[in-house]
Amino acid sequence: MPSLGATYGRGAATLPQWDVANADAILIMGSNMAESHPIAYRFVLQAKQKGATVMHADPRFTRTSAMADLYAPVRAGSDIAFLGGIIRHILENDLWFREYALHYTNLATIIDERFRGADELDGVFSGWDEEGRRYVYDSWQYEGMTVPSSLAEHHVNTTESFNDETKRLSHAPVPQDLTLEHPNCVYRIMRRHYARYTPEMVERVTGCPADVFLKVCEALTRNSGRERTATICYAVGWTHHSTGVQIIRAAAIIQALLGNVGRPGGGILALRGHTSIQGSTDIPTLYNMLPGYLPMPHAYKPHDTLKDYLEIEETPTGWWSNFPKYAVSLFRAWYGDAATPGNDWGYDWLPRIVGDHSQLPLTLAVRDGIIKGLFVMGQNPVVGSSNAGMVRRGLANLEWMVVRDFTETETAAFWHHGDARPQDIATEVFLMPCTFAGEKAGSFTNTHRLVQWHDAVVEGPGDSRSELWFMHHLALRVKALYAGSTDPKDAPVRHLTWDYPVRGPKQEPDAEAVLKEINGYTWASDPAERRQIADFKDLKDDGSTACGCWIYCGAFPADDHNKTRDRTPDGPDGPGTHLNWAFAWPSNRRTLNNRASADPDGKPWSERKRLLWWDAEQERWTGHDEPDFPEEKPPHFEPDWDSKPTGMDAITGNDPFIMIADGKASLFVPSGLKDGPLPTHYEPLESPVPNPLYKQQGNPTAKRWEHDDNELHPIGDPAHPYVLTTYRLTEHHSGGAPTRSVPTTAELQPEGFAEIPPELAAELGITTLDWVVLETARGAIETRALVTERLRPFVIDGRRVHQIGMPWHYGWHGYATGDIANVLTACVGDPNTSMHENKALTCALRKGRLAR
């Protein structure tokens, strides 16, 4: 989640879910929370029963809307116009939380005089390289200093020497004008940038009536300030866009302006969709990161040697100055005794990435035969991946594929279903039964960074095995095959540490031993000599510590203490941070940036919203949560700039955003985001209308992956006039394999359907339960119609636009079936995350069935 990372310093939900119950207003947008996260919605209702105002902005009236005080209908893909309108409303009406935003954000910071905004350049920012389709970031920097990104990739391309430039952060405080008069301070830039996002413009772009929009603004601002806080909840309704990162950025700006971050009942709750999707981002099965948000070495970045890599990725000021400790400790954990200072701790054994190796280009590389062998573990891309028809056909170009799942998913069955001709498909396919939590032990990290252990209670059936078992025994086999090799390419396989103890007749690896390595220990060749490390402050860059993921340090703090298995909640008398229920990264902190819950003097903003405060007697931060701040740094600490301070020494006592180089929330992001320092409305790549706000139609940096098998519709395409949005239902999960295979969930939504507004249905002669055909340039599917007033036509820039919706859970396997919605979607993506745009595309619709 680069948006929250770039703005607040860490890409994760800022507050625990239960804290939503303390909110005075809740805006749910880009999320159908009641349906997709019903148990999290429990806290919304608890807040509501205490008087909170609940608002839902969404293209569809859903089960979430039915419980809201305000439902704001917005066209799919118009979110930045809506949120930009809120930012304008806050700034123009002077409704921002002055003491908070002035001190805790970069609102007063002065930006390079060469900067030109999208307001001046009709939708692009200064630094746009039309030929390269990318930005050069120099003009977005703070006046006189280059700010490294707080994201995994700290390094950004500038025309000057990056290292020399960033070192200036240690020379002086960032340039600020606290009077906000300077024409290039962030405040002035933002006012100019958002001036055109008026309520009338919001209505033109989003279709939401201006008066409804203003009610949302009013409720949000009225419930923010010293005494009150508001929470914003979002999910993939925001991320699944070619502008997804900037949508969330806009929300992050709103919350920082209103002073709602790091405080009880305030913040941004990212509602993620899989049980350990946060964990698999922290300990990334992702191409571009190493565990703990360290960047993967890149062939085309200055990452040639370990020295280069550490120097370029270390941020001189702020917490990320500890980067080398985390990197070296990781290499020690992976390569053990083979990692020495002489070989850069094995740095050179790591593979280099050469471009975007994320899911969408991965599926295209499978399609084009670049990838020969594919593992699929607990995922169902033939249902869940964009342009699913292309994905299914592409699998036939693999030499072999291993699918590990509990049932025959559509992915595993690609070679024998529908129009597939098995005799023509050479792919060797292994379908291996997996086990579930309950049959294997391990930890999941939930949507608010809470790492929770689950026990093995029973054995899985037959030959089912955990992925831990599979990876362990596969690694042992492959290492054995390479054992005698002297080829340098095989050195990493041979040197990789792999000494996990196994148990029982099935030889199941001990998951706690793996978690101990993730947590980190003092290094010793003999496992018996290793000592668990309780805090990442104790990690070193000299090879004396090994740590698989620095932010998980503290999850297994002592040899006999698996903190993720702690199960003691707070009682009814509070304080309600539940510090003894499992472990939250980092360092068991439940609310991120919680230094911001106190004013610049270290006092709570109000009694009602106490969380952390400076105890002058004890000379330390204290309160109900673990401080997300140096415990003994007083609120009035000022760096000694003459000494050219680095690291946390350059962060003042009232800079709560310690992961950012200047300690302040980045309303304006100078580095790290590929599509601009401020969120700007662009139309989805497939849109029925021209962009009403700028000449620039779509996100200029969006990823398109042009391919014969991946065509897009032109703007306003009369052949594909309707907006289509895809979504989840509460009764099913994701690619659907688990819920479609269980009778009690399958019967609740037993068949695929498309939701169609009555006005459009009448035009096309469609009634509920009719078969209808949906078609895009990528493919066509048939499904049943559900005509409902929950969808409504929009008037966008004077034109009536119809929008239809379709759940994407269905496939042909299981008790609940239906055509695959993702056959319609395209491989296009956000430039920062490569996240697809399945929430807003265009399509054709007719009554009838497909000829099959």
Structure tokens at 614: 């400076």
Q: With CB under 8 A as the contact rule, which of the stretches 170-178, 184-192, 288-296, 651-659 interacts with another protein?
A: 288-296
Q: With CB under 8 A as the contact rule, which of the stretches 151-159, 255-263, 293-301, 308-316 interacts with another protein?
A: 293-301
Cα dist from 141 to 12, 122, 607, 653, whole Å: 25, 21, 38, 24
514 is a contact residue toward another protein (CB under 8 A): yes
Q: Provide the pairing of β-strand 70-73 with 53-58.
A: parallel
What is the x/- site pattern for another protein, positions 777-796, by CB under 8 A? Answer: -------x-x-xxx-x----
What is the x/- site pattern for another protein, positions 562-601, by CB under 8 A? Answer: ---x-x-xx-----x-x--x--------------------
Tell which positions 228-257 bind another protein, by CB under 8 A: none
Structure tokens at 710: 């991946």
| CB closer to another protein, 457 vs 795 | 457
444 is a contact residue toward another protein (CB under 8 A): yes
Spatial CB neighbours of 397, under 8 Å, sequence gap ≥ 6: 366, 367, 368, 369, 427
Q: For residue 629, report the phi and psi dihedrals to the nearest 5 degrees.
A: -170, 155
Q: With CB under 8 A as the contact rule, which of the stretches 125-133, 487-495, 650-658, 695-703 interacts with another protein?
A: 487-495
Contacting another protein (CB under 8 A), which of 744, 765, 798, 852? 744
- Can you tell me the distance from the alpha carbon of 255 to that of 661, in angstroms, rounded to the nearest whole number? 20
* Nearest partner of 282 among 470, 154, 443, 513, judged by Cα: 443
Could you give the count of Cα atoms lying within 13 Å of 375 in the half-sphere of its Cβ?
A: 7
Contacting another protein (CB under 8 A), which of 92, 743, 848, 849? 743
Cα dist from 249 to 84, 501, 529, whole Å: 10, 44, 46
Contacting another protein (CB under 8 A), which of 136, 415, 540, 715? 415
Tell which positions 793-822 bind another protein, by CB under 8 A: 814-816
Structure tokens at 525: 């060749």
What is the x/- site pattern for another protein, positions 679-698, by CB under 8 A? Answer: --------------------
741 is a contact residue toward another protein (CB under 8 A): yes
Structure tokens at 199: 């309520």
| CB closer to another protein, 569 vs 716 | 569
Smallest separation, CB 799 to another protein (Å): 19
Contacting another protein (CB under 8 A), which of 204, 249, 367, 836? 836
What is the x/- site pattern for another protein, positions 185-214, by CB under 8 A? Answer: ------------------------x--x--
Q: Report the greatest alpha carbon distance in the chain.
A: 79
| CB closer to another protein, 172 vs 402 | 402
- Can you tell me the distance from the alpha carbon of 651 to that of 665, in angstroms, rounded to the nearest whole number? 13
- Can you tell me the distance from the alpha carbon of 66 to that of 468, in angstroms, rounded to the nearest whole number? 42
Contacting another protein (CB under 8 A), which of 451, 534, 766, 826? 451
Contacting another protein (CB under 8 A), which of 423, 573, 574, 706? 423
* Nearest partner of 777 among 390, 397, 368, judged by Cα: 390
| CB closer to another protein, 349 vs 605 | 349
* Nearest partner of 781 among 827, 726, 712, judged by Cα: 726
Tell which positions 376-395 bind another protein, by CB under 8 A: 376-379, 381, 384-385
466 is a contact residue toward another protein (CB under 8 A): yes
Given a contact cutoff of 8 angstroms between Cβ atoms, the answer to whether 382 and 410 are in contact is yes
- Can you tell me the distance from the alpha carbon of 483 to that of 477, in angstroms, rounded to the nearest whole number? 10
Smallest separation, CB 577 to another protein (Å): 9
CA torsion angle for 639, 311, 554, 264 (degrees, to 10)? Answer: 50
DSSP assignment of 211-230: HHHHHHHHHHHHT-SSS--E
- Can you tell me the distance from the alpha carbon of 830 to that of 834, in angstroms, rounded to the nearest whole number? 5
Contacting another protein (CB under 8 A), which of 129, 489, 617, 706? 489
Smallest separation, CB 241 to another protein (Å): 12
174 is a contact residue toward another protein (CB under 8 A): no
550 is a contact residue toward another protein (CB under 8 A): no
Smallest separation, CB 311 to another protein (Å): 18
| CB closer to another protein, 300 vs 641 | 300
Smallest separation, CB 462 to another protein (Å): 3
For residue 574, list its beta bridge partners.
571
Smallest separation, CB 193 to another protein (Å): 28
Q: For residue 164, report the phi and psi dihedrals to the nearest 5 degrees.
A: -65, -40
In degrees, rounded to 5, the angle at the alpha carbon of residue 730 between the alpha carbons of residues 830 and 79 is 35
- Can you tell me the distance from the alpha carbon of 83 to that of 256, in angstroms, rounded to the nearest whole number? 13
Tell which positions 755-774 bind another protein, by CB under 8 A: 768-769
| CB closer to another protein, 384 vs 656 | 384
Q: With CB under 8 A as the contact rule, which of the stretches 94-102, 349-357, 629-637, 841-849 interacts with another protein?
A: 349-357
- Can you tell me the distance from the alpha carbon of 455 to that of 464, in angstroms, rounded to the nearest whole number? 17
What is the x/- site pattern for another protein, positions 308-347, by CB under 8 A? Answer: --------------------------xx------------
| CB closer to another protein, 42 vs 168 | 42
536 is a contact residue toward another protein (CB under 8 A): no
For residue 176, list its beta bridge partners.
109
Contacting another protein (CB under 8 A), which of 163, 184, 198, 280? 280
Single-letter amino acid, residue 822 = N
| CB closer to another protein, 180 vs 365 | 365
- Can you tell me the distance from the alpha carbon of 20 to that of 272, in angstroms, rounded to the nearest whole number? 16
352 is a contact residue toward another protein (CB under 8 A): yes
Tell which positions 699-738 bind another protein, by CB under 8 A: 729-734, 738
Tell which positions 20-79 bind another protein, by CB under 8 A: 34-42, 45, 48, 61, 63-73
Structure tokens at 581: 């229920």
Q: With CB under 8 A as the rule, give the number of residues binding another protein.
A: 200
For residue 456, list its beta bridge partners.
438
Contacting another protein (CB under 8 A), which of 175, 273, 302, 575? 273
| CB closer to another protein, 35 vs 177 | 35
Q: What's the Rg (C-alpha) of the chain? A: 26
Could you give the count of Cα atoms lying within 13 Å of 444 in the half-sphere of its Cβ?
A: 15
Cα dist from 413 to 80, 404, 405, 408, whole Å: 40, 12, 12, 6
Tell which positions 124-143 bind another protein, by CB under 8 A: none
